[in-house]
Structure 1
Amino acid sequence: MATDTVFRVMLRMLIKPGMGPDFERVWSEVGDSVVTHPANLGQWLSRSDEEDPENGGSVYYIVSDWVSEPAFREFETSDRHLTHRQKLHPYRSGGSMVTMRVVAHLPGGG
């Protein structure tokens, strides 16, 4: 697949204080609902070194790549996604989403 066709979604998740480990566990448990979608190219969870300035909770970033924006939007409005979100919602205190298109990729040597 050409890099310039990859549609990337980045979520910034604010997690309630003390709930980071449980959030990570549940994210791993429900991740199949995303990565088994035929249009999904992969998903990553990262914990930031920053702390939520509002409540001292953890900040996480979820990045997922999709074959196209329409394919992601179809997933985003599906029952599959709604169920996924409902399982993660109890851990969240807030968040935001950014979408983008990958325009270049330089593979590393490691």
Structure 2
Amino acid sequence: MADATFRVMLKMQIKPGMEAEFERVWQEVGGSVTDHPANRGQWLSRSTTENEDGIYYIVSDWVDEPQFRAFETSDTHLHHRTKLHPFRSGGSMATMEIVASLAGAAA
């Protein structure tokens, strides 16, 4: 793939009753991620899977892994994390490199 993308996917468990406030704060502080010159976009999704109440997935695409890692250790990211941390009761992170893509008919 000529235009490689490094993707980060966070799974976040949000404390019960704090979901709406988490979504609001995520949108407020999201620019600290998307304003980074190596960021290609970011998406917040709420799980609709049964027994996954309060589970959110955050997907963020980056030009490459080194630039994501530089952002990950920056003061900007630390500030961003500090704003979202009070809502979390757990979570995980997966990183991946997109190796192929197919556009759907609706694209």
1:92 maps to which of 78, 83, 88: 88
Structure 2: gaps of 5 or more residues: none
Aligned match of 1:17:
16
Deviation of residue 109 (structure 1)?
1.9
Q: CA RMSD in A?
A: 1.3
Q: Deviations over 1:21-72 (max 9, x none)?
A: 10000000000000000000000000002445xxxx5000000000000000
Structure 1: gaps of 5 or more residues: none
**TM-score scaled to structure 1, two decimals?**
0.91
Deviation of residue 2 (structure 1)?
2.8
Q: What does 1:10-89 correspond to in 2, within 5 Å?
A: 10-50=9-49, 51-52=51-52, 57-89=53-85
Q: What secondary structure does 1:106 align onto?
A: coil
C-alpha distance in 2 between matches for 1:23 and 1:80: 19
Percent identity reads: 68
Structure 1 runs of 4+ off > 3 angstroms?
none
Is 2:16 the counterpart of 1:2?
A: no
**TM-score scaled to structure 2, two decimals?**
0.93
